Amino acid sequence: MPAEEALDYPARIVAQVMNIGVFRDACRVADALDDDCLRAVVSNAEAGWFNARFWHYWHYRLDLAAVDHVPPLPVRRLA
């Protein structure tokens, strides 16, 4: 989507950095935003926002899940 349109979805932008950014980018986001904001992004993530690796990482990093108790990735549901 065009940058102007993407700015209407800040949580999606943050999730993209958390998921596909290099480690330094993820650290910058984590430093710029508080953990509650990052928790909200992860907790409200839509299907496709995170891959399995970073879904698990952020759940553990943000204390959203105990070891081996990470919820499943969000999935798209067809009506």
**Residue 6 confidence (pLDDT):** 81
Provide the residue count of the chain. 79
Task: Locate all alpha helices (DSSP H) within the chain, ordered by sequence.
Answer: 3-6, 10-20, 23-32, 35-43, 52-61
Q: Are 42 and 24 in contact (CB under 8 A)?
A: no
pLDDT above 80 (res 79): no
**Residue 77 confidence (pLDDT):** 83
At 7, list the tokens. Answer: 């700015």
For 14-50, the pLDDT digits (tens) are: 999 999 999 999 999 999 999 999 999 999 999 999 9
Q: Are 29 and 21 in contact (CB under 8 A)?
A: yes
User: Among residues of the chain, what percentage have pLDDT more than 70?
Assistant: 100
